[in-house]
Structure 1
Amino acid sequence: MVERSTAATTVTLLPGHNENSTEGGDPLNSAMPDYDGKSLDAWFVGDAVTDLPDDLETVREMRKHLPEYEEGLRQYRLMNHIELSFATSDGRHVVERSVNRETNAGEKPSYVGVEGEPGEENVVRDIIERDDLDWFGGEDKLPADVSNKRFESDVAHEAVEDVEGVRAAVVFGGSDTYIEIMREKFYELGPVAFLETTGMDLEAVPAFIVQPPTMYTFLELAVMADGTTLARVWDVSPYPKHYLYVDERKRDETEFEEGSRSSGGDWRANENANERFGQWVMEEQGLRSPFSPHTRTGYEASVAQASSTGPAPAMTYGEDGDELTASDVASALPPLFPW
């Protein structure tokens, strides 16, 4: 009897540099746009790192330490995970009763941390500290909103060229809880009253409050009885940066620039324009997000089109087995949608 076991993990990172003013850092020093210092990068802290190490256990242990908080905060936004295992007696068939699937569905989400060393302007922190508003419960860090943003498949049994195997998929996402609350207040109060109540400028309340976007990954893992494995990330949010780890090692990542300039040339920290962020916000209005208010059929068609013409899978990694190749498995198995 031989045991087969493989794990795949995606990690979503919001790149950033030192945001500690007391250490010579810049509070507007992440891949978030800042809208002239009046919005996102002035409100929240990034992950204070521009890349992640090759070892996943190191990623889990990494923490950013900021003067605003006594505890260290994770240096990633989201983690999506699947582990599959089973036994095979001959390298061709799966022992049914041995099949096991694990995910990190029970993991607590990362915190969204509010920027705010003394002397820094921050409307969100001002709201937290006001006695007449209790929008955020007085909390300057809140867990990311992951409610209704997770879909998990059961274990699917497959056969490729008479070799049995199993696979599973998870779509997992999260959004900024502060932004979600502000969205509720925006529609409850109306645009004019919202601006008057918060003291925000009109340009600081663009589409990302009217319809908060979601960071997400669509992860799928297949394991065959002959030892062939294939991890595919069929889709990711355009923003920010995502990594694929297989068996605890970094195997692939998405391309990501911290920002872009509408006028061309290199983007610099503190500039308003960020093309990827804009694409991400607008995605929520169409069929591209699995959490947008449209039918799942529309999202499936969108992923199918992308996989036939271009960039899907967004990330992939496979290892050949005794009889099959990862390419054989990829050709035989279309996306497994987890609903």
Structure 2
Amino acid sequence: MVERSTSATTITLIPGHSENSTEGGDDLDSAMPDYNGKCLDAWFVADAVTDLPDDLQTVREMRKHLPEYDEGLRQYRLANRIDLSFSTPDGRSVTEPSITLETNANEKPSYVGVEGEDSEENVVRDIIERDDLDWFDGKSKLRADVSNKRFESDAVREKVNGIEGVRASVLFGGSDTYIEILREKFYELGPAEFLETTGMDVEVVPAFIVHPPTMYTFLELAAMADGTKLARVWDVSRYPKHYLYVDERKRDVTDFEEGSRLSGGEWRQNENANERFGQWALEEQDFRSPFSPHTRSGYEQYVDHVTSFGPYPAMTYGEDGEELTASVVASHLPPLFPW
């Protein structure tokens, strides 16, 4: 009897450098735009790193330290993980009772931190510290909002050219809890009263509060009895940067530059606007997001369409087995939607 096991993890990162201005950092030095102190650079603190190491355990242990907080914060936004294992007596068949599937569904999400030292202007911190409003319970950090943003498949039996295997998929996302609370208050109070109460500018509201954007990855992992492994990330949010780790090692990464402009040209420190971020903020309103108000079938049609031409899957990694190749397995297995 041979034991087969493999794991795949996606890590989502907001690239950025130190934002601790009291120690020489820059509060706008990240790939999250600031829009003149009124937007998400202030709300979703960047991860103070521009790339992640090859070893996943090292990533888990990394922490960023800001003077506003009494503990280190994880240096990534989201982790999405699948572990598969089973036994095979002959390298061709799978012993049904031995199949195990685990995910990191019970892992606590990363914190969303409201940035802003005394010298830094921040409209959300001003709201938190007001005596007449208690929307955020006075807290300058909250866990990211992952409610209703996880779909998980069961372990599904597969057969490719007579070789049995198992695969599973997870679609997982998260959003800024502060923005989600502001969204609730926006609809509760109405636009006019919301603007009057918060003092926010009208141009900030439509993109970031009416439809809060979600960071997500659609991860799938397949393991065959002959030892073939295939991890595919069928879809990711356009923002920010995503990594694929297989068996705890970095294997692939999405094409993302710090705040690069879609029209060309490089991001600069202290730049307030970001085209790529703007497109991501609008993504929630159409079929491109699995968490949009549209039907799941609409998202399936979108993924089926975009995967018919590049650059999808967004990330992939495979290892050939004793009889099959990862490319053969890939050609036989279309996306496994986890619902």
Same structural fold, with TM-score higher than 0.5 when normalized by the shorter chain:
yes
Matched, 1:87 2:90: no
Counterpart Cα distance in 2 of 1:54 and 1:218: 21
Q: Which region of structure 1 is more displaced relative to structure 2, 308-317 or 159-168?
A: 308-317
1:127 touches 1:133 (CA, 8 Å); kept in 2?
yes
What is the Cα deviation at residue 106 of structure 1? 0.3
Q: Using a 3 Å threshold, how does the CA distance of structure 1 residues 262 and 97 change in structure 2: closer, same or farther? A: closer
Tell whether the 8 Å contact from 1:226 to 1:324 is kept in structure 2 after alignment: yes
Cα offset for 1:184?
0.9
Shift in Å, 1:82: 0.2
Shift of 1:194: 1.3
Task: Give the secondary structure class of the aligned counterpart of 1:117.
Answer: coil
Aligned equivalents of 1:43, 1:109: Cα separation in 2? 16
- Deviation of 1:181 after TM superposition, in Å, equals 0.4
2 CA distance for matches of 1:37 and 1:268? 16
Question: How far has the Cα of 1:204 moved from its partner?
Answer: 2.7
Instruction: State the secondary structure of the residue aligned to 2:281.
Output: helix
Q: Write out aligned runs for 1:143-222 (5 A).
A: 143-222=143-222
Output the CA distance in 2 between the equivalents of 1:262 and 1:170: 29
Which residue does 1:319 correspond to in 2?
319
Alignment of 1:230-241 (within 5 A): 230-241=230-241
Unpaired runs of 5+ residues, structure 1, are: none
Query: Could you say which residue in structure 2 is the equivalent of 1:258?
Result: 258
Deviations 1:121-155 (A, max 9, x none): 11111111111100001111000000000000001
Do 2:47 and 2:75's aligned partners in 1 also have CA atoms closer than 8 Å? yes
Q: Deviations over 1:268-298 (max 9, x none)?
A: 1222321221111111111011110111111
Offset of 1:33 from its aligned partner?
1.2
Paired residue secondary structure (1:205): helix
Distance in 2 (CA, whole Å) between partners of 1:227 and 1:329 is 12
Match of 1:47 in 2: 47
Residue 70 of structure 1 and its aligned partner are, at CA, apart by 0.9
1:262: Cα distance to partner? 7.4
| In structure 2, distance between residues paired with 1:135 and 1:177 | 11
Kindly, what percent of the aligned residue pairs are identical? 80
- SS of equivalent to 2:278: helix
Scaled by the length of structure 2, what TM-score is found? 0.98
How many residue pairs get aligned? The number is 339
Amino acid of the residue matched to residue 102 of structure 2? E
**1:44 offset after TM fit, Å?**
3.7
Paired residues of 1:173 and 1:215 also in contact (CA < 8 A): yes
Report which stretch shifted further, 211-220 or 188-197: 188-197
Cα deviation digits, residues 83-103 of structure 1 (max 9, x gap): 000000100000111000010
Greater shift in the superposed pair: 20-29 or 30-39: 30-39
CA deviation string 1:164-200 (max 9, x = no partner): 0000000000000000000111111122221211112
Amino acid at match of 2:336: L
In structure 2, what residue type is equivalent to 1:291?
F
Structure 2 equivalent of residue 272 of structure 1: 272
Q: Does the CA-based 8 Å contact 1:36-1:271 persist in structure 2?
A: no
| Structure 2: runs of 5 or more not aligned | none
TM-score between both structures, scaled by the size of structure 1: 0.98
Distance (Å, rounded) in 2 between the aligned partners of 1:53 and 1:239:
20
CA distance in 2, matches of 1:240, 1:18: 17
For 1:107, the equivalent position in structure 2 comes to 107
- More deviation in 252-261 or 12-21? 252-261
